[in-house]
Amino acid sequence: MNTLLLEAHNGVLHITLNRPECRNAMSLEMVKELREVLAQLDSQVRAVVISGAGGHFCAGADVKDLIGAGNQMQALNRAFGTLLQEVEALPQVVIVLLQGAVLGGGFGLACVSDIAIADHKAQFGLPETRLGLLPAQIAPFVVKRIGLTQARRLALTAARFDGVEAERLGVVHFVEHDPQALAQRLDEVLGQVLQCAPGANARTKSLLLASVNEPLGAVLDRGAQWFAEAVTSEEGIEGTQAFVQKRMPRWCE
């Protein structure tokens, strides 16, 4: 990988966006490498943590790549939207650690995470319209995350805001005030995630995402089917036995 650093241990894959010289701007190569990594995830990976090198998460699209895209611009822009769809749909729990610039595509990536942890000084925003561009692939995910009214305000003003405001808007779940607190919060969240059965987490996430767009009856029918299957599944049997026997289930070991 030329644009990513990868580290896996204890069922967690840590992905670091690694273009610090440009605040980890999202190049075409980075999009491609991220999609390749995500496509190769297996059931041994229970959580994915995405962060950025050099004190920044991601400053958005690499403008140099945009200038050189030529007649491939539409396809390349859509490829980033596909990346966001794939991150959102991962069966694993996706956690983002947000510092420094969280702009444009970086903001979009934060909006498709399951759990977002931010430094209070992180800078969020949708700067595209200041450049005469559109947040074309990001917009639907921002709306889903914080609602249409706030998304319109942020996109049509290109306003910048910090981690505290991001928490108020619902972009992030936790705001911390120093690197040690960020690391401690990440450890705490990962500890909670790893206490949950991976198969149950994956199906729960799928149901939650489906509830946004699918008819309620269809989601409830699928939920009933999956619940019945879970009760007699290996995870369900192990989890209920562990509860009765007052011990930790195997997936916590």
pLDDT of residue 99: 98
CB 18 within 8 A of CB 53: yes
Q: Is the dihedral of CA 218, 221, 227, 233 positive or negative?
A: negative
| Local confidence band at 231 (pLDDT 50, 70, 90 cut-offs) | very high
Q: pLDDT exceeding 90 applies to what percent of the chain?
A: 91
pLDDT at 75 over 80: yes
The strand pairing partners of 95, in sequence order, are 49, 115
Distances (CA, A) of 213 to 129, 207, 252: 28, 11, 33
CB 154 within 8 A of CB 142: yes
| Local confidence band at 70 (pLDDT 50, 70, 90 cut-offs) | confident
DSSP string, 96-163: EEE-SEEETHHHHHHHT-SEEEEETT-EEE--GGGGT---TTTHHHHHHHH-HHHHHHHHHHT--B-H
pLDDT at 253 over 90: no
pLDDT of residue 1: 87
Q: pLDDT exceeding 70 applies to what percent of the chain?
A: 100
**Comma-separated ranges of CATH 3.90.226.10 domains in the chain:** 4-193
How far apart CA 16 and CA 54 sit, in angstroms, is 10
pLDDT of residue 65: 78
Collect all residues with Cβ–Cβ distance below 8 Å to 245 and sequence separation of at least 6.
Answer: none
Question: How many residues are listed for the chain in this entry?
Answer: 253
| Local confidence band at 217 (pLDDT 50, 70, 90 cut-offs) | very high
| Local confidence band at 74 (pLDDT 50, 70, 90 cut-offs) | confident
**Fold (topology level) of 198-252:** Lyase 2-enoyl-coa Hydratase; Chain  A, domain 2 (1.10.12)
pLDDT at 94 over 80: yes
In 10 A of CB 42, how many CB atoms? 6
As a whole number of Å, the CA-based R_g of the chain is 19
**pTM (2 decimals)?**
0.95
Which phi-psi region, left, alpha or beta, contains residue 132 (left: φ > 0; alpha: ψ -120 to 50)? left
Q: Is the dihedral of CA 214, 217, 218, 221 positive or negative?
A: positive
pLDDT digits 0-9 by tens, 99-135: 999 999 999 999 999 999 999 999 999 999 999 999 9
**Buried b / exposed e along 230-243 (16+ C-beta atoms within 10 A):** beebebbeebeeee
**Comma-separated ranges of CATH 1.10.12.10 domains in the chain:** 198-252
pLDDT at 50 over 90: yes
Closest CA to 227 of 195, 252, 204, 251: 204
pLDDT of residue 77: 87
pLDDT at 138 over 80: yes
pLDDT digits 0-9 by tens, 17-47: 999 999 999 998 999 999 999 999 998 999 9
Domain range 4-193, its CATH number among 1.10.3720.10, 3.90.226.10, 3.40.50.300, 3.40.50.1820:
3.90.226.10
pLDDT digits 0-9 by tens, 150-180: 999 999 999 999 999 999 999 999 999 999 9
